[in-house]
Structure formats: structure tokens, C-alpha cells
């Protein structure tokens, strides 16, 4: 399991994740492996992040969104983050290089992207605008998604 040596998960969960990867082309089988890994891993952040990405790329936005929100909730509790944006923003800005805060920002940006794909444009704009204000180095998809969502349709594409 060298490929997942950095994952903080049991060998059994790592094996299930590798089986999901090995069976990528067969969505129903790979999804079964991901679901088994999720069941066995509980609230393991590494596994949850991998799972929301998996479901995103498998074009299952509802599942991806549900798991991304779970990641956000876990980090909010672990890091004792406030729920109000005006209280949360300065904390995220100050601590953005910390691993859990980076995961939080990535999950939040992903939530905005997923919502955009699902047609919830106004919420997606709000989320991606918030993340882009913090993500000065464009490390997440938020700035690009925000720019696409707010592009004036009359603008020239020169």
C-alpha cells in the first residue's frame, strides 16, 4: 500500500481505496469499494476528501456535496471555528497555511464548484467569492469558478 502511505487510515481502508481505483472504469464496483471504505473509516478526513473527489469525478454531485459538507463540519468542530463568515474569514486568512484550514478552504471551494454544477449559481458565487478573497495564490478552484460565474456575457473573448 505504498501509494497511500501518507493516508491516516487502516490498511483495510487503504486496500478498499486501491480497489476502488483499480476498478475505476466499473463505476458500480468502484463505488461499492468507496462506500465500504467510508463505512470503515468513519470521520477520517483523508478518506472523506478522497470520497468527495471520487463522487465529483463520477458525476454524482449530490454525494460529493454531502461528503464535502461533512468535511467542513468536522474541521469546524476540530478547530472550533465560528459559523458566521465575518468571524470566520479573518481566522481562515490568518491560518490558511495550516493543514486543516487548507483542507477546509479546499472543501469549501469544492462545495462552491459542485453547487455551480448543480445550477445553484448564487450560492456558488457567494462561496467562491469568499474563498477567492482568502486564496491569493489561486491554490483552489474558487477564483476560476467565480470568474466564470460572474463573467459578463457581453464581454468579448479576444
Contact 111, 72 (CB under 8 A): yes
CA dihedral 139, 145, 151, 153 (to 10 degrees): 150
Cα–Cα distance for residue pair 39/18, rounded to 1 Å: 15
Q: Which of 52-61, 69-78, 98-107, 144-153 has the lowest mean pLDDT?
A: 144-153
Please, where are the H alpha helices in 118-141? 121-134
Alpha-carbon distance of 70 to 48, in angstroms, equals 8
**What's residue 153's pLDDT?**
54
pLDDT for position 143: 78
pTM for the predicted model, two decimal places:
0.86
Alpha-carbon torsion angle 38, 44, 49, 55, nearest 10: 10
Q: pLDDT band for position 149 (50/70/90)?
A: confident
Q: Where are the domains of the chain?
A: 9-42, 52-150
Whose cell is 478518506? That residue is 47
pLDDT tens for each residue of 3-52: 545 567 889 999 999 999 999 999 999 999 999 999 999 999 999 999 99
Q: What is the pLDDT of residue 142?
A: 80
Q: How far is CA 36 from the centre of its chain?
A: 20
State yes or no: pLDDT of 139 exceeds 70.
yes
Amino acid at each position: 500500500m505504498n501509494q497511500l502511505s501518507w493516508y491516516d487510515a487502516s490498511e483495510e481502508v487503504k486496500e478498499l481505496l486501491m480497489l476502488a481505483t483499480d476498478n475505476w472504469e466499473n463505476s458500480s464496483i468502484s463505488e461499492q469499494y468507496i462506500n465500504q471504505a467510508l463505512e470503515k473509516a468513519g470521520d477520517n478526513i483523508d478518506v472523506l476528501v478522497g470520497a468527495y473527489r471520487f463522487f465529483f469525478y463520477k458525476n454524482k454531485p449530490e454525494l460529493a456535496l454531502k461528503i464535502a459538507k461533512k468535511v467542513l463540519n468536522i474541521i469546524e468542530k476540530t478547530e472550533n471555528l465560528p459559523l458566521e463568515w465575518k468571524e470566520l474569514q479573518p481566522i481562515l486568512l490568518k491560518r490558511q497555511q495550516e493543514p486543516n484550514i487548507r483542507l477546509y478552504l479546499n472543501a469549501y471551494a469544492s462545495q462552491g464548484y459542485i453547487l455551480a454544477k448543480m445550477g445553484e449559481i448564487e450560492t456558488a458565487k457567494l462561496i467562491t467569492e469568499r474563498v477567492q478573497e482568502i486564496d491569493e495564490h489561486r491554490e483552489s478552484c474558487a477564483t476560476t469558478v467565480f470568474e466564470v460565474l460572474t463573467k459578463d456575457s457581453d464581454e468579448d473573448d479576444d
